[in-house]
Amino acid sequence: MSGNAVRREAIWNVEAYVPPAISFNGAEAPGEIFGLNVFSKTVMQKRLPKSVYKSVIATIEHGAMLDPDVADAVASAMKDWALEKGATHYAHVFYPLTGLTAEKHDSFFEPVGDGSSLAEFAGKTLVQGEPDASSFPNGGLRNTFEARGYTGWDVTSPAYILENPNGNTLCIPTVFVSMTGEALDHKTPLLRSQQAMGEHAARILTLFGHENQNVVAFCGPEQEYFLVDRHFFLARPDLLNAGRTLFGTKPPKGQEFDDHYFGAIPDRVLGFMMDTERELFKLGIPAKTRHNEVAPGQFEIAPMFERGNLAADHQQLLMTTFKAIAKKHGMECLFHEKPFAGVNGSGKHVNFSLGNADLGSLLVPGDTPHDNAQFLVFCAAVIRAVHKYAGLLRASVASATNDHRLGANEAPPAIISIFLGDQLADVFEQIAKGAASSSKGKGVMHIGVDTLPVLPTDPGDRNRTSPFAFTGNRFEFRAPGSMQTVAGPMTTINTIMADSLDYAAGVLETAVAAGTDFDTAVQDLLTQIITDHGNVVFNGDGYSAEWPIEAEQRGLANLKTTLDALPELVTESAMELFERYGVFNHREMHSRYEIGLEQYALTIGVEARLSLEIGTTAILPAAVKHQTEIALNIGALKAAGVEADIAPLDEVSAPITALRAGLATLRAALKSDVGHSALAEAEHARDVLLPAMADVRAAADALEELVADELWPLPTYQEMLFIL
């Protein structure tokens, strides 16, 4: 089929598409299906002996060490439950450093001597698995001859049933470590960091008179994504293989009308959203908010916040579910940070707070934050952490794909700063001068229509340009990319918070022991933190041209690309920090750094090869055909004695020449030998491949505007973004 026919057919298919019917009815009402497929506390309470249940809950709720004796009882109950739910297999699910989810499936049924089979699932099978680790990135943590990797049951994240038309699977969330116990995954360090943060938060609470508190980190991830009709998706090898378009001019109509954000959701998309929510509910994932996003074809889902570790697992499961259900509705769900150049990209905001069921969020200021000392200590700890470890926060969101988004005036800049809002900023300004004695109160908004109520306004406005913004009861880290797992950023936030809380607790404990009155000690601590770290507070416009200049004067780093940010992981101070809180040892930090470089080079390498292939085999032939037709036309006109304008031929020939040259450069760049160090390959990707791809794209995009539509081989931005 010619390029044009593929596109025509795609459009026709989109038009003729009838969404599959879905409904919430009878036993499938939302309230009834929530958690239906989860081996939840309620299920455990029903099915486990009382003592076993109590022991498991002590681990989940209070972080107690898991009693190995309970595993057999839990495994047996879990197996019975799973078999009743139609499961035939079980899988240890883990989160390797590719950022994806991995699972190894095994059957419950084991043959017995007489030719029949028996469903077996022992405690040791629940607790530990041994997938071959050799095909997952390890950044030098393992020699290839030591292929062993172990998965270990994470009791704090419940097992669940994953449904599939061909059979159900019991999924068990696990950590994934090497033979020596070093982390090969994202979950292990997240759990370690949670433990460290909790320990030091509890010390602060003890000082404020709340003894024995188990403090956890909460995370509410907001996921942005694009939906594209699958016919277009399949006709775009770049989207299919790299997750983003490597070619394409801006459509005549883009997002400048702002008519998509919060607009009515198209029926087909709404059908998809309802279907996904139903599946998420079954898995116990509390999907809550859904709406359109800024760009055409872009949407957002925000589940309710949960404990960080659970939120991270749920977030991974959400992405898998979205991909599968989009397909069912004839669409592809794109999680790439920048699928379309010149169009808004996608992020995954990580809303962070800490607290527990007893005390709620410890980041709630109340109406008069100036006299809420406990809140101010936690808040000051965040300010110190973000200032001191801005580089690590930046590194935690570094990837080749997120580089397209950060600093492009649609996402926060790569400069890490904190937004506090009017009220809190004012309180901390008072603290810097000595002590805070007042809080700016809530205002009221007069709308000017008598029948409308007077609406209260929040004491602080929102700031969409800040990478780390206080939003009333939590901080919102806005820099993470849409494709990332939240485990990485959460691990960093927990660890730097552990450091700040440890520091604050130390200062207060020492002062109190020396006989200083507690209020004075708190006051001094706050004043000192805001004096040393107040530079990171910025309430202005992060997109403005002045901010990078001001930030530099304030001594805030601007680590623009992944390769600028990754070295932050292996500074002496970073390695000392992560080691001190038992989150990563030196070797693990080095491995993360190496893997970051590897993934960067691999991502760009794939894109470069795709650019070369699509440019050479699809775009150049179409352009040449168009050029030939113009040339033939000029020849025919001349032969007929008509005066022919050769300008159109020149116009299309110039970008064809540029495209040929660009492709030749790219081909040579891909062949050049850059040695085998991960750093050399990553630098080659950034300094040679990316610019070469940009030249190829510029020529190809110029051609898209010239070549006859019927010859153009790729679905256009117009088609992909507006036809759903």
Residues in the chain: 724
Nearer to ligand ADP, 219 or 685 (CB): 219
Size of the site for Mg ion (CB under 5 A): 1
Residue 222 as a binder of Mg ion (CB under 5 A): the answer is: yes
Nearer to Mg ion, 222 or 332 (CB): 222
Size of the site for ligand ADP (CB under 6 A): 14
Query: What is the residue whose two structure tokens read 């019991």?
Result: 170
CA distance linking residue 134 with residue 514, whole number of Å: 55
Nearer to Mg ion, 229 or 293 (CB): 293
Residue 474 as a binder of ligand ADP (CB under 6 A): the answer is: yes
Which of 55, 156, 309, 353 binds ligand ADP (CB under 6 A)? It is: 353
Residue 222 as a binder of ligand ADP (CB under 6 A): the answer is: yes
Q: How many CB atoms lie within 10 A of CB 423?
A: 23
Residue 378 as a binder of ligand ADP (CB under 6 A): the answer is: no
CA distance linking residue 479 with residue 414, whole number of Å: 8
Nearer to ligand ADP, 302 or 569 (CB): 302
Residue 223 as a binder of ligand ADP (CB under 6 A): the answer is: no
Residue 306 as a binder of Mg ion (CB under 5 A): the answer is: no
CB 129 within 8 A of CB 150: yes
Nearer to Mg ion, 222 or 568 (CB): 222
Q: How far is the CB of 286 from Mg ion (least distance, A)?
A: 15
In three-state secondary structure terms, 334 is strand
Residue 444's DSSP bridge partners are 456
Which of Mg ion, ligand ADP, none interacts with 216 (beta carbon under 5 to 8 A by kind)? none
Phi and psi at 681, nearest 5°, equal: -65, -40
Nearer to ligand ADP, 111 or 360 (CB): 360
DSSP 99: S
Q: How far is the CB of 487 from ligand ADP (least distance, A)?
A: 15
- CA 168 to chain CA centroid, Å, is 27
Q: How far is the CB of 312 from ligand ADP (least distance, A)?
A: 13
> Residue number with the shortest CB distance to Mg ion?
222
Q: How far is the CB of 335 from Mg ion (least distance, A)?
A: 16
Q: How far is the CB of 301 from Mg ion (least distance, A)?
A: 9
In three-state secondary structure terms, 361 is strand
The string over 287-318, giving b where at least 16 C-beta atoms fall within 10 Å of a residue's C-beta and e elsewhere, is beebebbbbbbbbbbbbebbbbbbbbbbbbbb
In three-state secondary structure terms, 449 is coil
Inter-CA distances, 162 with 287, 458, 516, Å: 17, 42, 57
CA distance linking residue 310 with residue 187, whole number of Å: 10
Residue 476 as a binder of Mg ion (CB under 5 A): the answer is: no
Residue 677 as a binder of ligand ADP (CB under 6 A): the answer is: no
Residue 415 as a binder of ligand ADP (CB under 6 A): the answer is: no
Residue 473 as a binder of ligand ADP (CB under 6 A): the answer is: yes
The string over 36-61, giving b where at least 16 C-beta atoms fall within 10 Å of a residue's C-beta and e elsewhere, is bbbbbeebbeebbeeebbebbbbebe
Nearer to ligand ADP, 81 or 375 (CB): 375
CA distance linking residue 246 with residue 717, whole number of Å: 11
Nearer to Mg ion, 289 or 438 (CB): 289
* Binding positions for ligand ADP, 249-308, rule CB under 6 A: 289, 302-305
CB 236 within 8 A of CB 378: no
Q: How many CB atoms lie within 10 A of CB 193?
A: 28
Inter-CA distances, 139 with 145, 150, 580, Å: 15, 17, 22
* Binding positions for ligand ADP, 313-352, rule CB under 6 A: 351-352
Q: Applying CB under 5 A, which residues contact Mg ion?
A: 222
Q: Applying CB under 6 A, which residues contact ligand ADP?
A: 218, 220, 222, 289, 302-305, 351-353, 361, 473-474
